[in-house]
Each structure stands twice: as C-alpha cells, then as structure tokens.
Amino acid sequence: MLFNSLLLSSLLLFPAWVAAIPRQYDVSNGTQSCEDLLPDASAFPDTTSSGKFMFFIRVQVIEGKQAELEDVISNIDNFVKSGAEPDTLTHRSVRELGQDGNPTGFYTVIEEFTDKEAFITHLLSPAGCRLLREGPSLIASQNLTLVDEF
C-alpha cells in the first residue's frame, strides 16, 4: 500500500520534475524546440584528428527562393558574429558564380565547431532552428562534407 502510494505520487510528480530540468539549448523567442527536425548526426565520427568539426555544406536553392535563403543564412552568420555561440569557430557563406559572373543558385557554407556537440547546439539555436524549419521550402538539394584541418 505504501509502495503503491509512493509509486502514484512519483508518477504524479514526474511531469513537474521533467519541466524543472533546465533546457539544454536556448530555443527562446517563444518558439518550440526544433529537436524533432534535427538531422541524424550519428553517422559522423565522435572525434576528428584535429578534434574539431568542420563542414563544407553545399546547397542548391529552389528557383525563386534566393533572397529568402540568403536571409535565413545571413541570420545565422549574424547570430554567430554576435558572439552568442563561442563554440562555433567559423561560419562563412558564399554564393557560387558562373564564368559569366552570375549566381548559379548554388551556395557553400563553411562551418567549424569546437566539437560535434557544438554542431548540434548550433542547429538548435534560434537561428539554426529557423533554418531547420524554413530550409525544406527553400533548398532543392544539399550535400554536407565533413572536413578536417591538417
């Protein structure tokens, strides 16, 4: 009987206990977390020889969505430049140009993190979440290459 009532009260308390755990990532701005949109990073190694995590991410924009995609990516650049993410060491974005000097619709983003965890934290930041949410309507295809400085 005592056991049952302990069990019951711990079950009743459980949701409050979960809610009391501080959120690991800042997903402020009143929006919900975007953890459900996180890409699966388990295929990447847990460490690299440099210890850092650096990516070349090549993106092809959906025709007509250039300005929107550039806005979402610039927002991330600015977020990182603000110093909000000390574990994001590099975040640079470029648009590719053809030999005629005109944009081709392809972009490359160079991202460098202190470690794999920092990459995940970056994606869950308010600016990263916005990319995870809006990306599917702006991006036709993307390829992510893990690189390692030597």
Ligand X SMILES: *[C@@H]1O[C@H](CO)[C@@H](O)[C@H](O)[C@H]1NC(C)=O
Residues near ligand X (CB under 6 A): 29, 58-60, 106, 130, 141-143
Spatial strand order in the sheet of 53-61: 88-97, 103-113, 53-61, 139-147
* Core vs surface per residue 109-131: b (16+ CB within 10 A) or e: bebbbbebebbbbbbbbbbbbbb
CB closer to ligand X out of 61 and 120: 61
Tokens of 45: 């190694």
Shortest CB 37 distance to ligand X, Å: 14
Shortest CB 58 distance to ligand X, Å: 4
Shortest CB 112 distance to ligand X, Å: 20
Shortest CB 78 distance to ligand X, Å: 12
CB closer to ligand X out of 32 and 102: 32
CB closer to ligand X out of 137 and 141: 141
CB closer to ligand X out of 7 and 140: 140
Tokens of 75: 């927002």
Cα dihedral value 101, 104, 106, 110, nearest 10:
0
